[in-house]
């Protein structure tokens, strides 16, 4: 008998289960959302140009920080290598003297043997391990001539000093190995940060690079404005100082101070400082246009601390190699009282330095890919300035 049930159009199935129309629509939406999530990122996912700029600047900052660590490790390594060479040379000389002392002892023993004297080999006293040996040593020493005793004393001294120097050389070699490891690590860090920065810049389109250049131009204009403002402030301070105390009797920079430096007053300037600063600045100006190369100290290229060190060296003042040490090599003064020749340090970790030339400007070696140049001390914003130091 035929069935009277009305047949239904089969609906879609998922995993063998018939689904109603509403469930079908939901599954379709899920599939579309999944496709969207797996799709390539859109422009909205890309970092903004400002974010890229901050990232690049940060990478260069990290590279410069690693450069100063590299400079410190390089300096330590050079000093340690010199120390090791000195110790090894000392070991060689002491070993030679020890051999000579041993030969002299041997000549005494041979003479005793030829004459039939019943004195045992004088070198055996060095091997005392028991009370009897000690007694024998004392007896032997009583029977030795003055020259023989001097020979024995010299041998003992040379042996002791040679062993001590060898131990010191061994420790210095271990320290040298550690310094070389630090140097290698710092070098690798610099290279990695610079590579990351270059790759990030390489991903920018021509239009983005043009926009980035426009942002940099605005920053330079703002920095120039701040420099001019500082120059006017310093000029006003000089004029006020001349009116109050007479020209030439007070610090030509005035007695004002920057907002972040409280009421600190710079030490009085003198003719000797001005003369040295002039020589340092003449050197720095002669380097303008030379490339920044991390770890370089001239004469064809410089990093930031290499430039300031070279500038003041030309004036007869020896500065340490790194920014970390240079910042302590003088007297800190307020930014508002900065004088030509002063060192301007940047960032909380003190990883950059330039030499002040007046009117809110400095000469510095900025970063990889740039050249030694004259620039506002506000090139990276007023908050980036760490301190100003007068080195001599």
| Residues acting as catalytic residues | 304, 352, 364
d(CA 392, CA 385): 21
Preceding amide of 341 cis, omega within 30: no
DSSP conformation letters of 41-65: P-GGGSPPHHHHHHHHHHHHHHHHH
d(CA 47, CA 96): 69
d(CA 383, CA 346): 9
Q: Which two tokens stand for residue 3?
A: 């069935």
Cβ–Cβ under 8 Å, residues 355 and 362: yes
d(CA 245, CA 266): 16
Q: Which two tokens stand for residue 286?
A: 């002669």
> 10 Å Cβ neighbour count for 4?
5
User: Residue 147 belongs to what H/E stretch?
Assistant: helix 146-202
d(CA 182, CA 161): 31
What is the distance of C-alpha 309 from the center of its chain?
A: 14
User: Residue 391 belongs to what H/E stretch?
Assistant: none
d(CA 201, CA 79): 38
Collapse the DSSP code of 296 into the 3-class scheme (helix H, G, I; strand E, B; otherwise coil) and give the result: coil
d(CA 53, CA 387): 25
Which of 351, 361, 390, 54 is CA-nearest to residue 251? 390
Q: At what angle do helices 49-115 and 206-245 cross, to 10 degrees?
A: 80
Burial group, residue 153, by CB count within 10 angstroms (0-12, 13-18, 19+): exposed
Which of 142, 165, 159 is CA-nearest to residue 105? 159
């Amino acid at each position: 008998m035929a069935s009277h049930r009305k047949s239904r159009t089969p609906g879609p199935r998922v995993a063998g289960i018939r689904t109603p129309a509403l469930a079908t629509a939901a599954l379709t939406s899920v599939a579309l959302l999944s496709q969207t999530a797996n799709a390539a990122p859109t422009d909205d996912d890309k970092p903004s140009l400002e974010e890229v700029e901050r990232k690049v600047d940060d990478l260069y900052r990290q590279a410069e920080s690693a450069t100063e660590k590299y400079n410190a490790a390089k300096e330590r390594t050079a000093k340690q290598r010199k120390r090791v060479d000195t110790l090894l040379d000392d070991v060689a000389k002491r070993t030679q003297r020890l051999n000579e002392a041993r030969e002299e002892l041997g000549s005494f023993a041979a003479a005793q043997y030829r004459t039939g004297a019943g004195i045992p080999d004088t070198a055996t006293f060095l091997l005392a391990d028991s009370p009897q040996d000690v007694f024998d040593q004392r007896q032997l020493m009583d029977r030795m001539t003055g020259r023989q005793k001097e020979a024995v004393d010299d041998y003992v001294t040379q042996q002791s000093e040679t062993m001590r120097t060898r131990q010191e050389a061994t420790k210095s070699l271990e320290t040298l190995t550690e310094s070389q490891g630090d140097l290698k690590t710092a070098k690798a860090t610099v290279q990695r940060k610079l590579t990351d920065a270059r790759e990030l810049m390489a991903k920018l389109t021509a239009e983005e690079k043009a926009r980035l250049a426009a942002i940099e131009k605005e920053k330079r204009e703002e920095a120039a404005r701040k420099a001019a403002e500082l120059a006017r402030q310093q000029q006003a301070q000089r004029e006020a100082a001349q009116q109050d105390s007479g020209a030439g009797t007070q610090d030509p920079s005035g007695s004002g101070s920057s907002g972040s430096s409280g009421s600190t007053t710079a030490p009085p300037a003198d003719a000797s400082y001005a003369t040295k600063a002039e020589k340092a600045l003449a050197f720095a100006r002669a380097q303008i246009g030379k490339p920044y190369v991390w770890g370089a100290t001239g004469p064809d290229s410089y990093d930031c601390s290499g430039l300031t060190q070279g500038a003041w060296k030309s004036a007869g003042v020896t500065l340490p190699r790194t920014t970390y040490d240079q910042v302590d090599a003088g007297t800190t003064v307020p930014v508002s009282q900065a004088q030509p020749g002063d060192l301007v340090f940047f960032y909380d970790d003190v990883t950059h330095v330039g030499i002040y030339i007046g009117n809110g400007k400095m000469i510095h070696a900025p970063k990889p890919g740039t050249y030694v140049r004259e620039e506002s001390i506000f090139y990276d914003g007023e908050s980036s300035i760490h301190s100003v130091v007068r080195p001599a």
